[in-house]
Structure 1
Amino acid sequence: MDKKTKIYLGLFVLLILSMLYVESVKDKPVNWFPTYTAKHKLPYGTFVLKEQLPSLFSNSEITSITEPPYLFLKQKEESNKTYVFINNQISFGDAEIAELMKFVESGNDVFISSHSINIDTLNIETALLDTDNFEQKSIFKFKNKVFKNKEYTFDRFFSNTVFDEFDAENTTVLGITAFLDKNDNRTDQGINFIKFKHGDGNFYLHTFPEVFTNYNILKGNNHQHAANVLSYLDTEKDILWDAYYKTGKSKITSPLHYLLSSKQLKWAYYMALIGVLFFIVFNGKRTQRIIPIITPLKNQTLAFTRTISNMYFEKSEHKNIAEHKINYLLEFIRTKLHIPTTQIDDTFYNYVAQRSGYDYDKVVQLFKFCDEIHMRNQISENDLVKLNRMIENFKNTIQYGK
């Protein structure tokens, strides 16, 4: 290595070390990602709200629900409860909306705070409240005379959503949002908080979830706004806190994410990458030699499949083939219908019949026959054909409908 190369190498190393030092001493940027997760202390997490719920609802039991509302409400009958949903975007399926309506109709309440609340069954739709003046600020105000002259603002950018359509006969307007110009005159206004009566219960629908974030609650007196919104809920009802419909993850699931979340581990990871780079630069020169011609391997997948199938057929391994088909059926139900298969019972039959649209009695007949095959030591070719026909009928029903 000549002198000139050594100088360039030294400058390169010095540059890398300088970059590492600058990155290590500079302030960590604020993460404004809207997680709405109770475990997160980020600006747009809901850690503070979750910690304060016991004081706001001192007579209520607070339970975190980590599974979809459809499964939770299907498992047992709930009474005297308020189901709370807070997230940037919430998209319920038709089956979940039906279960929530039954839940409210029986005397429970549902509180939803999200920018997108479009429930066709209730004839409720939202729209964006636009303004042409970027200097305008948004305010939030309640209709209740108790909160007269109390207006709240939010200094971060957000989607100001309002209710564009709803059933006026069964709906009570609780809050509004508006834009103010530089002279504090209202230019655009819309409804952002309503109460919808359904059966013996109520839907409380709110389109400004940022009010419940850590940043907003700890900013000035905006915590009063969050408390005032929740004051409309019945304090005698237990709280079901939704922990399933959240934009952010409640726990780290990626090893790389775990490494990069720690400052020390992150720079150890970067140094390892730089070390590998140096190794490649200085020791990666391949010794020149004649490269032999290697004929690529032929694709023997089809031949292998035929060989295995012939082996099973010739040895009459009907029982083994049937077991494989049953395992593939259970995997199909887990991935396509999203139903756990750890326990095959009446609840499982109901879920499969409801999700697939397949006749309940035929579902029971299919899995009873699978159990019968499990119990046998050997099965005939006719039994294998019968099992295959029943499984294919079940799958075709899901793909093409009844």
Structure 2
Amino acid sequence: MDKKTKIYSILFLVLILGYIYLENTKKQPINWFPTYAAKHKIPYGTFVLKNQLENLFPTTEIKTINLPPFEYLKDSTRTGTYFFVDDALNFGDAEFLRLMKFVERGNDVFISTHGMNIDTLNFKTERLLSTNFDEKVIFKLPNKAFKSKEYTFDRPFMNQVFTKIDTLNSTILGITAYVNENGKRTEEGINFVKFRYGKGNFYLHTFPEAFTNYYILKSPNQQHAANILSYLREDIPILWDTYYKTGKSKIASPMHYLLSSKYLKWAYYMGLVGVLFFVLFEGKRKQRMIPIRVPLKNQTLAFTRTIANMYFEKQAHKTIAEHKINYLLEYIRTKLHIPTTKIDTTFYNYVASRSGNSYKEVEKLFQFCEEIHLKNEITNLELIKLNDMIEKFKKTIQYGN
């Protein structure tokens, strides 16, 4: 190892040690990504709620469902309250139909998500907007049992409200509003609805942040979440959905596993930097020159032009025409799968029906081909006419009439 390489190696080692020191001493930023996953303890995970469900419902069985609802509800004997909470939920038509049949049999479905537009149940949502930046948002359950207590949320979020509901079968359970400095409400909307369907109920809620770790651990907001959950039945299991979650519930790839660990990620990045240094200082010096090899040219087109020019210069129009007719027959055999041993009315009908050309056009083309067969010589105009007729015939097959 020469002196120059030793210097670069020492600098590289100092760089790595400095990077490790900075990574160990810097303050890790808070992860505000909304995963809504029960295994995540970050602010927008649902670890606290999932672990507190057993305390809230001591006599109720809590089941974790890893399958999509379409698969899980194939068994029509399933019972319970299917519990969905996520930033966005996109059910397929067939899947939501199974949820409806599930509710119709006497079960419940609880859905808490933003942007809920369910045409099947006649529900629409829009964002509740406010022009005053100093206003705060409040949430309230009108039920007298909750003493009209109002709760707030101090993080920016998408506040959705119902703009269209089925008033005949729905009960309003919750509202949200913006309140100005004087305590006056400037904007208000419905954000929690109970919809009766068959023997069961849909509970539709547009503020999923109410069930996150951040909201529940910030007193007294945990009481608001408990009040919402109090509408769930205790005599049937709670089916906690883990399939529809923004946060991944399992390792999706080896690279995801590698980058999910802080120390493995450092090792990976340092390995990449080491490879880069090797390429810059070692690979360039030792790599042999790669010879340039020019690929062989495709001379097919040039050969075809040469042969065509030979025929043209010799005025061999009849020979060219015969070749084109033979190619046409071969084209019909391979493309249309029609035998060309006998050219008659039956042949015309087959060709016309499979090529998209009319019977008269097919008959005219092959009668002209027959005229050329009977002549000893033809003019260049007749050759051009034959070519135009054949090309028109082929274009009809490729692109239709």
Would you call these one fold, judging by a TM-score over 0.5? yes
1:104 maps to what in 2?
Answer: 103
Residue 91 of structure 1: how far off its partner (Å): 0.9
Residue 254 of structure 1: how far off its partner (Å): 2.6
Matched residues in 2 for 1:289 and 1:268: separation? Answer: 30
SS of match in other structure, 2:73:
helix
The residue type paired with residue 62 of structure 1 is I
The residue type paired with residue 262 of structure 1 is S
2:70 maps to what in 1?
Answer: 70
Question: Is the CA contact (8 Å cut-off) linking 1:40 and 1:250 kept in structure 2?
Answer: no
Question: Is the CA contact (8 Å cut-off) linking 1:179 and 1:188 kept in structure 2?
Answer: yes
SS of match in other structure, 1:285:
helix
SS of match in other structure, 2:176:
strand
2:46 maps to what in 1?
Answer: 46
Matched residues in 2 for 1:11 and 1:96: separation? Answer: 59
Alignment CA distance shift 1:231-1:272 (3 Å): same
1:56 maps to what in 2?
Answer: 56
Question: Is the CA contact (8 Å cut-off) linking 2:16 and 2:270 kept in structure 1?
Answer: no
Aligned length: 298
1:138 maps to what in 2?
Answer: 137
Matched residues in 2 for 1:91 and 1:288: separation? Answer: 54
Question: Is the CA contact (8 Å cut-off) linking 1:126 and 1:162 kept in structure 2?
Answer: yes
Alignment CA distance shift 1:289-1:250 (3 Å): closer
The residue type paired with residue 160 of structure 1 is N
Matched residues in 2 for 1:290 and 1:278: separation? Answer: 20
Greater displacement, 95-104 / 20-29: 20-29
Alignment CA distance shift 1:149-1:276 (3 Å): same
Matched residues in 2 for 1:273 and 1:290: separation? Answer: 25
The residue type paired with residue 258 of structure 1 is Y
The residue type paired with residue 276 of structure 1 is V
The residue type paired with residue 154 of structure 1 is F
Normalization by structure 1: what TM-score? 0.69
Unaligned runs of 5+ in 2: 299-401
Alignment CA distance shift 1:49-1:294 (3 Å): same
Matched residues in 1 for 2:215 and 2:15: separation? Answer: 42
The residue type paired with residue 130 of structure 1 is L
Deviations 1:174-218 (A, max 9, x none): 010001112221110000001011111111110000010111111
SS of match in other structure, 2:284:
coil
Residue 274 of structure 1: how far off its partner (Å): 2.3
The residue type paired with residue 38 of structure 1 is A
SS of match in other structure, 2:192:
strand
Unaligned runs of 5+ in 1: 300-402
Matched residues in 1 for 2:297 and 2:47: separation? Answer: 58
Residue 233 of structure 1: how far off its partner (Å): 1.2
SS of match in other structure, 1:92:
coil
Matched residues in 1 for 2:21 and 2:76: separation? Answer: 57
Alignment CA distance shift 1:295-1:106 (3 Å): same
Deviations 1:26-50 (A, max 9, x none): 0111111111111111211111111
User: In the TM superposition, what are the counterparts of 1:251-400 in structure 2 within 5 Å?
Assistant: 251-287=250-286, 291-294=290-293
2:319 maps to what in 1?
Answer: none
SS of match in other structure, 2:255:
helix
Residue 228 of structure 1: how far off its partner (Å): 0.5
SS of match in other structure, 2:74:
helix
Alignment CA distance shift 1:292-1:12 (3 Å): closer
Are 2:215 and 1:213 aligned?
Answer: no
Alignment CA distance shift 1:13-1:111 (3 Å): same
Alignment CA distance shift 1:98-1:3 (3 Å): closer
Question: Is the CA contact (8 Å cut-off) linking 1:197 and 1:203 kept in structure 2?
Answer: yes
1:122 maps to what in 2?
Answer: 121
Matched residues in 1 for 2:51 and 2:25: separation? Answer: 33
Matched residues in 1 for 2:89 and 2:214: separation? Answer: 21
Residue 12 of structure 1: how far off its partner (Å): 7.3
Matched residues in 2 for 1:113 and 1:194: separation? Answer: 11
Alignment CA distance shift 1:291-1:97 (3 Å): closer
Matched residues in 2 for 1:21 and 1:260: separation? Answer: 19
Q: Find the structure with the greater CA-based Rg.
A: 2
Matched residues in 2 for 1:74 and 1:298: separation? Answer: 61
2:21 maps to what in 1?
Answer: 21
Matched residues in 1 for 2:130 and 2:192: separation? Answer: 20
Question: Is the CA contact (8 Å cut-off) linking 1:178 and 1:189 kept in structure 2?
Answer: yes
